[in-house]
Amino acid sequence: MADTYHRNITKNKKKAVLSVVKERMGGVIPAKGEYTQALGRRKTAVARVRLYPAKKTEVFVNGKTCDEYFGTDEMRLKARQALLVDEQKEHYTVSAYVKGSGPNAQSEAIRLGIARALVVIDEELRSPLKAKGYLKRDPRSVERKKFGLLKARKAPAWVKR
């Protein structure tokens, strides 16, 4: 009984957080228009990315600007790297919804999503993006914990007696 109660509390919290994110995203997303959508993944992070044609390039993540969402310049740069390839003549407003994992994996998931969307828009960008490695999905993830061990590979201390 306590399990279902606790589960319902976390579900309600999740719903509340998602509703706040949707409200923020609603203010950021341009009026209904054409966009290109792609999905990027890294570890357990999943980024749903939409590219809208615009006058200047802007990146929004979960309703916040990229600078507000990511703490370090390195992660901000990772999220925007795919847009910097081949000195884009067109500008895009990027709207990304990311969940799971940590900020580093989230920024890499956004980069993959943007790269995939750019390839859908312009097939000629495929080779420069591929050469930089932005179209490769990094499949590494955390190894599962095995029974009898403390972690995935860490064994308990050996004692003679």
Q: Specify the CATH number for the domain of residue 24.
A: 3.30.230.10
- Give a yes or no: residue 58 inside a domain: yes
Q: How would you label 3-41 residue by residue, b for 16+ Cβ within 10 Å and e otherwise? A: eeeeeeeeeeeeeeeeeebeeebeeebeeeeebbebebb
- Give a yes or no: residue 153 inside a domain: no
- What's the pLDDT at 29? 64
- Give a yes or no: residue 148 inside a domain: no
Please report which residue ranges of 44-159 form alpha helices under DSSP H. Answer: 66-69, 73-84, 103-121, 126-132
Percent of the chain residues topping a pLDDT of 70: 81
pLDDT over 80 (residue 10): no
**CA distances in angstroms from 146 to 43, 44, 150, listed in the order given:** 19, 19, 8
Percent of the chain residues topping a pLDDT of 90: 50
- Give a yes or no: residue 46 inside a domain: yes
Domain count, the chain: 1
- What's the pLDDT at 77? 92
Task: Name the helix (H) or strand (E) containing 50.
Answer: strand 45-54
Per-residue pLDDT tens over the stretch 88-140: 677 888 999 999 889 999 999 999 999 999 999 989 989 999 999 999 998 88
Predicted TM-score (pTM) of this structure: 0.78
pLDDT over 90 (residue 25): no
Which tokens is 74 given? 């390195």
- What's the pLDDT at 147? 96
- Give a yes or no: residue 82 inside a domain: yes
- Give a yes or no: residue 149 inside a domain: no
- Give a yes or no: residue 141 inside a domain: no
Least trusted range by pLDDT, from 1-10, 12-21, 43-52, 69-78: 1-10
Per-residue pLDDT tens over the stretch 54-77: 888 889 998 889 999 998 999 999
Domain that holds residue 75: 2-132
- Give a yes or no: residue 101 inside a domain: yes
Cβ atoms 92, 35 nearer than 8 A: no
